[in-house]
Amino acid sequence: MANNKSAKKRILQTAVRTERNKYYRTKIKNITKAVRSAVEAGDKVKADEAFKVANKELHKYVSKGIMKKTTVARKVSRLHKLVNAIEAA
């Protein structure tokens, strides 16, 4: 257990950050899952809509400093490739 004031503060800060990170991690998973499920269903219109939402939200996280630019670029690229694969099939 923490013995001094700064250690207690760090414990509280860690708890707050952990909760925030869980929230964003879940949100990112749900956003990408929506695109992937629409692609698996073969619904091009729904996949396009879900991709637009995912693209916007993920890039918003870059501007907020939650995710790195390259990570988002990679995720968006992979999702876009999946959505485009519906047309080819």
Domain range enclosing 59: 5-88
Q: CATH number of the domain that 55 lies in?
A: 1.20.58.110
83 contacts: CB under 8 Å, gap ≥ 6 = 35, 39, 44, 47, 48, 51
What is the pLDDT at residue 89?
A: 65
Number of domains in the chain: 1
The mean pLDDT values, 10 residues at a time, for the chain of 89 residues are 90 96 96 96 94 97 95 97 86
Cβ-proximal residues to 22 (8 Å cutoff; 6+ apart), any chain: none
pLDDT at position 48 is: 95
Quick one: pLDDT at residue 88?
A: 72
